[in-house]
């Protein structure tokens, strides 16, 4: 598996997020209570960028039509979206925040 270095993990404090461009995906990375989670940055309903939406705890709301997703699982919590988000593995290695360049396989 290939990993992309997103910089020093300590710069992304709890409650903060960043959007990273990977070779094939745009990914939203969020620090939820000290644990990093990454999901595809596009709403499956109509392609709205989730990084511009409301992020509260472990939930993100699409700014276009209000679909809501769980950042830990990628699960859709509120329509109009009915498809879960792709998730990406995240790890911290030697203080660096790394994200997998391809989505996780379905659980």
Cβ-based neighbour number of residue 84 at 10 Å? 17
pLDDT of residue 68: 97
Reduced to 3 states, what is the DSSP secondary structure of residue 8? strand
Using CA atoms, how far apart are residues 62 and 9, in angstroms rounded to an integer? 25
pLDDT of residue 105: 82
- Which domains are seen in the chain, by residue range? 3-100 (2.102.10.10)
Cβ-based neighbour number of residue 28 at 10 Å? 25
Question: How many angstroms separate the Cα of 101 from the Cα of each of 41, 44, 106?
Answer: 13, 19, 16
Reduced to 3 states, what is the DSSP secondary structure of residue 100? strand
Kindly indicate the confidence band of residue 107, based on its pLDDT and cuts at 50, 70 and 90: low
Strand (E) or helix (H) holding 48: none
Strands 26-32 and 17-21: antiparallel
Tokens 């070779």 found at: 23
Q: What is the pTM of this model?
A: 0.95
pLDDT tens for each residue of 40-57: 999 999 888 999 999 999
């Amino acid at each position: 598996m290939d990993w992309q270095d997103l910089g020093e993990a300590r710069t992304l404090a709890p409650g903060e997020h960043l959007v990273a461009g990977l070779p094939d995906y745009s990914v939203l990375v969020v620090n939820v209570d000290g644990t990093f989670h990454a999901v595809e940055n596009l709403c499956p309903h109509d392609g709205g960028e989730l990084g511009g939406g409301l992020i509260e705890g472990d939930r993100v709301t699409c700014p276009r039509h209000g679909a809501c997703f769980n950042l830990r699982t990628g699960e859709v919590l509120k329509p109009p979206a009915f498809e879960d988000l792709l998730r990406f593995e995240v790890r911290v290695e030697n203080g660096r925040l790394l994200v997998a360049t391809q989505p996780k396989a379905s659980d």
